[in-house]
Amino acid sequence: MAKINTLFIPLVVILSILNLILPIPAFLLDLLLAFNIVLAAVIMLNTIYLKTALDLSIFPTLLVITTIYRLSLNVTATKLILAEGHAGDVIRGFGYMVGRNNLVVGFVVYIIIMLVNFLVITKGSERVAEVAARFTLDAMPGKQMAIDADLNTGLISEAEAKERRKKVQREADFYGSMDGASKFVKNDAIAGIIITIINIAGGLIIGVVMRGEPIGEALSNYTILTIGDGLVSQIPALMLSVATSFIVTRAGADSELSTDFVKQLFYNPKVLYIAAVISLAMAPFFTPIPFIILSIALFFIATKQKQLQKEAVIEEEVQIQESEVDEIRKPENVVSLLQVDPIELEFGYGIIPLADANQGGDLLDRVVLIRRQLALELGMLVPVIRLRDNIQIGPNEYIIKIKGTEVASGELLFDYFMAMNSSGAEEELEGIKTTEPAFGLPAIWIQESQRDKAEMLGYTVVDPPSIIATHLTEVIKKYSHELLGRQEVQTLVDNLKQSYPAIVDELVPKLMSIGEIQKVLANLLKEGVSIRDMVTIMETLADYSPMTHDVDMLTEYVRQALGRSISQKFFNEDSNVITIDPKVEQMILDSIQKTEFGSYLALDPAVSNTIINNLSKNVQKLLKLGSQPIVLASPIVRLYVKKLTENVIPGLVVLSYNEIDSSVEIKSVGTVSV
């Protein structure tokens, strides 16, 4: 069987060429002509059921082979017609069937079929093939670049990329071949016209001059045979021209022609109903029965299609529900439930308009600005802030979560403004007393009509979105050290490496790991120190990490290197501070216990309480002066003073003398002693 498959095409081509010169009996010609018609029908039907043109990639070659085969049969039939006046039953049968024993009818029908094939179908398919080839070749570089882009981004594998490139190349080759093969169809039609003229003229000459037949008999006999021969050739040629048109116009199709025809033409019930009405309206003006039948058929199809679409929608909903249930039942989907968003802002349904851009809300835009602001202020990449509504809380309440745990909350009065007496205005406003959620300051909810008056009196007036944005900003600052993980640090290091590769290559991973760098950066953020100057931080770590791997000590060295920015943040014109008595510092130094896992403060509880109480009194003194509470300590004890006070006086700033810029003038308003 395999040998027959490999020899079939060569034999057909060779025999087709030999037919041009070898005599063929009439009965064998009948068989070959019948095979030609059936073969053309098979090819045409294949093109109708194609999903893509490449499913029949041998079509251009088939056109060439069938054209040679058909021309050889045409020449053989011409020889028999002119030599014997008879060319088999197939040709004579076609001539009498189409002409119905009337030469004029047969000749006119033949001319119409020939013109339709040549002027309409063949010319049209030739033009479509030419345009398809041109656009396919022009689009080839873009398709190749798209494949390379998908491969580089990891969307497809190397094998898939290779297969796609092969498909693109095959498409280009196919449409290029179709452009050339369509010329065979066109020229075959022209050859059929010429052969018809030769058969009629030659037949008359042979019949009248050589055989002495009456001109009427010769004209009837040879014309009928010529019409039959022409139709036997033109009908397969017509089918192949139609097949060519089908295959070059199947652009963008992904299913069979019949399926697309029904799906796209009879899909919309509204169109069918309108067509049924039009058909019914035309019935009184013409023969009514055909239009009424068509109207009823269209109405029936439209009703059926509408019902099928409803069933399809219901079935789709059922499938979606089943797929959702299946997804929930899958064990691996439990993993997605373990994902915890770093920052979440949940709000009641009454606050939804603030986050809905369609209702004029700008909360989403403010969240974007918060991330940009904190990137400039803290130097860290703030994770994506997830906003979602929560019907389980009050309509005007909101909750801020860090890593899935609630850390702050607040309540708003919609269409109200919050006024805070930040400048010490004497006149009080009428409104609802409340507390500002971000800083815990006393405030008043006022209506919009009171806004101008409040601002004239010196009140700070903010709208609800600003309240949420400010609260969210302060919460992120407070918990920034928890939000900075190893992955975020890796991103910062990679970004720094693009401009300062020498620093990164020296430090990571030879001297410090990403985890150790992350701990240092987290320590800085925990005390409100910006890590934006990564160059200074990394250079300081590279200088001191060979001497110690104590993260707390490395943090102190980095703070000293960032002294100018620390001074600029915490000191202003009135730089009032609290100092620590040297005896107290010595007591703290003596109580430091060092272990292989780090150091800690083992101070006597009574002494600790005395230090804290004394410090609290001095902090109150600073607050009365309107100054930020700042404690100065020697570099070696600064860290331990901070650890001693961070849980008791959370907002207290503890700085060392080495962190103060030389240009800053400070004034001590109290000393912590025992």
**pLDDT value at residue 100:** 58
Give the mean pLDDT of the chain.
Answer: 79
Q: Which two tokens stand for residue 245?
A: 């048109």
Confidence of residue 260 (pLDDT cuts 50, 70, 90): low
Q: Which of the two residues, 86 and 457, has the higher pLDDT score?
A: 457
Domains present along the chain, CATH in parentheses: 11-252 (no CATH), 357-479 (3.40.30.60), 484-561 (1.10.8.540), 568-674 (3.40.50.12790)
Q: Which of the two residues, 400 and 316, has the higher pLDDT score?
A: 400
CB 12 within 8 A of CB 65: yes
**What's the CA gap between 118 and 534, in Å, rounded?**
77
Average pLDDT over residues 87-115: 68
Name the nearest CA neighbour of 67 among 103, 16, 20, 125: 16
pLDDT 10s digits, 500-525: 999 999 999 889 999 999 999 999 99
**pLDDT value at residue 649:** 85
Amino acid at 127: R
Burial tier of 286 (Cβ tally within 10 Å: 0-12, 13-18, 19+): exposed
CB 91 within 8 A of CB 232: yes
CB 427 within 8 A of CB 397: no
**pLDDT value at residue 591:** 87
pLDDT(1) > 60: no
Q: What is the DSSP string of 133-170?
A: HHHHHHHHHHHHHHHHHHHHTTSS-HHHHHHHHHHHHH
Q: Quickly count helices (H) and strands (E) in the chain.
A: 26, 14
CB 527 within 8 A of CB 560: no
pLDDT 10s digits, 560-584: 999 999 988 888 766 788 999 889 8
Amino acid at 198: I
pLDDT(334) > 70: no
CB 559 within 8 A of CB 613: no
pLDDT 10s digits, 613-652: 998 888 888 888 778 889 999 988 998 888 888 888 888 8
DSSP 350: G
**pLDDT value at residue 29:** 76
411 strand-pairing partners: 397
Name the nearest CA neighbour of 532 among 487, 564, 572, 575: 564
Confidence of residue 663 (pLDDT cuts 50, 70, 90): confident
Q: What is the DSSP string of 479-516?
A: THHHH--HHHHHHHHHHHHHH-HHHHHHHTTTT--HHH
CB 353 within 8 A of CB 309: no
Confidence of residue 219 (pLDDT cuts 50, 70, 90): low
Confidence of residue 313 (pLDDT cuts 50, 70, 90): confident
Average pLDDT over residues 224-239: 70
**pLDDT value at residue 561:** 93
Lowest mean pLDDT among 19-33, 89-103, 273-287, 324-338: 324-338
Q: Is 379 left (phi over 0), alpha (psi -120 to 50) or beta?
A: left
Q: Which two tokens stand for residue 457?
A: 């009196």
Average pLDDT over residues 343-357: 87
**pLDDT value at residue 98:** 61
Q: Which of the two residues, 46 and 183, has the higher pLDDT score?
A: 46
CB 642 within 8 A of CB 624: no
**What's the CA gap between 74 and 232, in Å, rounded?**
9
pLDDT 10s digits, 525-541: 999 999 999 999 999 99
**pLDDT value at residue 87:** 67
Label each residue of 611-666 as H, E or C.
HHHHHHHHHHHHHHCCCCCEEEECHHHHHHHHHHHCCCCCCCEEEEHHHCCCCCCC
Dihedrals phi, psi of 212, to nearest 5 degrees: 70, 25
pLDDT 10s digits, 455-502: 888 899 999 999 999 999 999 999 999 999 999 999 999 999 999 999
pLDDT(126) > 70: no
CB 509 within 8 A of CB 520: no
Supply the angle between the helices 59-84 and 26-48 in degrees, to the nearest 10: 150
pLDDT 10s digits, 208-217: 666 666 666 6
Confidence of residue 127 (pLDDT cuts 50, 70, 90): low
**pLDDT value at residue 522:** 93
Q: What is the DSSP string of 59-125?
A: HHHHHHHHHHHHHHHHHHHHHHHHHHS---HHHHHHHHHHHTT-HHHHHHHHHHHHHIIIIIIIHHH
**pLDDT value at residue 484:** 92
Chain length of the chain: 674
**pLDDT value at residue 443:** 92
pLDDT(248) > 80: no
Name the nearest CA neighbour of 571 among 619, 525, 629, 652: 629
pLDDT(99) > 60: no
Q: How many C-beta atoms lie closer than 10 Å to residue 65's C-beta? A: 16
Name the nearest CA neighbour of 185 among 104, 260, 138, 239: 239
**What's the CA gap between 180 and 126, in Å, rounded?**
9
Q: Which two tokens stand for residue 455?
A: 């601002």
Strand order in the sheet with 416-420: 432-435, 442-447, 416-420, 460-462
**DSSP H or E run through 345:** strand 343-347
